[in-house]
Structures are given as structure tokens and as C-alpha cells.
Amino acid sequence: MNKPTFLTTGGAGFIGSNFIRFMLSNYKDSIKVINLDSLTYAGNLENLSEIDHLPNYRFIKADICDEQAVDYIFLNNDIDFCVHFAAESHVDRSIKDPSVFVKTNVLGTVNLLNAAKKHWQTGTGFKSGKKFVQVSTDEVYGSLGAEGYFTEKTPLAPHSPYSASKASADMLVQSYFDTYGFPMNITRCSNNYGPFQFPEKLIPLVINNARAGKPLPVYGDGKNVRDWLYVEDHARAIDLVARKGTPGEVYNVGGHNELQNIEIVKIILDSLGSSHDLITYVEDRLGHDRRYAIDASKIKSELGWEPETSFGVGIKRTIEWYLKNNGWLKNAASGDYLKYYERMYGGTNP
């Protein structure tokens, strides 16, 4: 029997690389994984150095917006699951330059959809066992007040160019199901934390700056609430949705760990033994959503998913990981991680 083949886009990023490691350690050599990533500033192949020698793993450097490259990959590999992480993902960058978010997150997604549709289609529908998973975010729902949760029925009301581009992509993915019966799911997850996150995001940034005694910028009053999930729990949810999710459905993913940004910063400072004096409040982010919180009861009841890592355990593990992997953090913060590709692949496309 052929091994199921996962085409993972954006697999050199934070969640994608955690997903690939999770899949290869769980399913060993009973699956194949292709990692399609263009290696933007957020793509770091060092994230995959533990597994990049495996014969059932392959990296392809390509842009999801490149029609020919994406078509070629589908033509030459019998892709069963396309798990789509590749995106511009940083809200602050989207406020500065929305265009690249539209290009990658919207046009890139359509490009992948078209290739998958073309190669999965039969005369009467789609080959069985195929699935496109759009990895999306709770940010597409907009902002909550002090009460309530996002469900899959909450209307999309994105506020930042990032979340607007993800919402647009989600609607296009859904439209391929509604129009063509294309086999897809969408996952919408809350904020992830864990190893290998690029240090422009809150948790690794705070660890990195605090260790260097640098100020810790905190937006506004620091009381914006995010719902945090350990990245491996997200990876497990995506795997379940890919294999067992009902085609056409959206699944919210979250761990009911609501915390204010300032609380996260203080937890990290306390565990590092650093002074709270490093906290520096800065002007609030434009259009800053106040609170996100996910109702994940659908994925729990339909697919039996439960988060396995409590916030207390996960944050401790995460801080320890960054401290132990100081070299990774330094390379990521300084840009030296870019040399890894040169070293490994000598600038040629493997």
C-alpha cells in the first residue's frame, strides 16, 4: 500500500515545523512528508534539523504563489493531504505592508486550491482519501468583549490586514467545497506557544530581551487577552481534522487558557528571575483586538480532541527549551539562521 503523503506548506515556520516533527515521530516511516516553503524571514530550516535526514521527508524550496512549481509538485507526487500553514503571520508587519499578506495568504491559497483541485478531480468528483486543511486563526472572528467565546458560527469580522487576508483565504477554501465539493477543512486556532517560534512574537521575544536585560515592549495597558495553546496540541488537532474531519467543516481549536499579555510577560520574568522594571509600555497597536477566546467543543465532541498540555506545564517547558537552545534563539534573532540553508543545500533547490 502507498504511504499517505502530506504536503505541508510553510513547514519551516513555527507551527509547520512542530507539525512535521509531531507527524514523523508519531507515524514514523508509515507516512511521507513534503515540506514546501519559500523560506521568508520566518522560515528556518534549523527547526527541522532533527528530522531532515529521514528518507520519508523532503524539503522543496518554492513559493506557493508560483503556479508552475505548485502544479509540478502535485503532478509528480501523489499528495493525499495538503496541510496549508504557509502565510505571512505577523500582525505588526501586516499593518506596515498589507500587500504581501494579500499575495501570500489569499493568492497563494487559491493557487494551492487550484492545483489540488486539478490533480484530485475525477470525472464525477474527487479521488477518495484526499483532504485540504486550511490552518487558520481565531483572529478572523474579530474581537470579544469581557464575556463569550468564538464558535464556528461566529461571523467573520477581521480587523487587521493579517486577519482580513486569512478570513479571505478561509472563505475561498470554503467556496471550493460549496461550489465543487472539494474535500477541505478549516481549523481556527488560538495563539500558539512552544519551541521554534520566531523571536518577533511575544513569548520568545520576552525571553530573548529579558536575558539580555533589554526593555520589554508591551502594547497599550497590556490587558489584551489571548487564549494560549501548546503547539503540539495544535499539531495533534490538525492531524485529527485531516484524517477524520467531516469534509466542508470548520473546527475551532483552543485550550481555554485566557491570559492578559502582561500576565504572560510577568510569568516569564518571574521564572527567569528578571526584574519587572524591564516592562516598557508602548503606544497600542493600531486596531488592537481586545480579547480572543475559543469554544473548542465541536472538535472535542466530534473528533475526541483534548489539549494534553496544561498552560503551567507548557510554559515551563517552553521557557526551558529557549534557555537550553540559546544558540537557536541567537541565530534566529541575529539572522544567522539564513546560513543554514546555504550550509545544507548550498543554495540549490533540493
Ligand X SMILES: NC(=O)c1ccc[n+]([C@@H]2O[C@H](COP(=O)([O-])OP(=O)(O)OC[C@H]3O[C@@H](n4cnc5c(N)ncnc54)[C@H](O)[C@@H]3O)[C@@H](O)[C@H]2O)c1
Is 37 an interacting residue with respect to ligand X (CB under 6 A)? yes
Asked about 277 being catalytic, the answer comes back as no
What is the distance between the alpha carbons of residues 86 and 132, in angstroms, rounded to a whole number? 13
Shortest Cβ 224–ligand X spacing (Å): 14
Is 39 an interacting residue with respect to ligand X (CB under 6 A)? yes
Q: Which of 80, 139, 170, 249 is catalytic?
A: 139
4, 48, 70, 89: which one contacts ligand X (CB under 6 A)?
Answer: 89
Number of residues that bind ligand X (CB under 6 A): 30
Shortest Cβ 41–ligand X spacing (Å): 8
Shortest Cβ 141–ligand X spacing (Å): 12
Q: Which of 52, 63, 88, 138 is catalytic?
A: 138
Is 42 an interacting residue with respect to ligand X (CB under 6 A)? yes
Is 331 an interacting residue with respect to ligand X (CB under 6 A)? no
Q: Mark the segment that binds ligand X (CB under 6 A) among 63-71, 117-125, 244-252, 265-273.
A: 63-71
Shortest Cβ 107–ligand X spacing (Å): 9
What is the distance between the alpha carbons of residues 273 and 213, in angstroms, rounded to a whole number? 11
Q: Which of 57, 162, 251, 341 is catalytic?
A: 162
Identity of the residue, 164 or 189, whose beta carbon is nearer to ligand X in the bound complex:
189
Asked about 138 being catalytic, the answer comes back as yes
Is 166 an interacting residue with respect to ligand X (CB under 6 A)? yes
Q: Which residue numbers are catalytic?
A: 138-139, 162
Binding site for ligand X (CB under 6 A): 9-10, 12-16, 37-40, 42-43, 63-65, 85-89, 104, 108, 135, 137, 166, 189, 191-192, 198
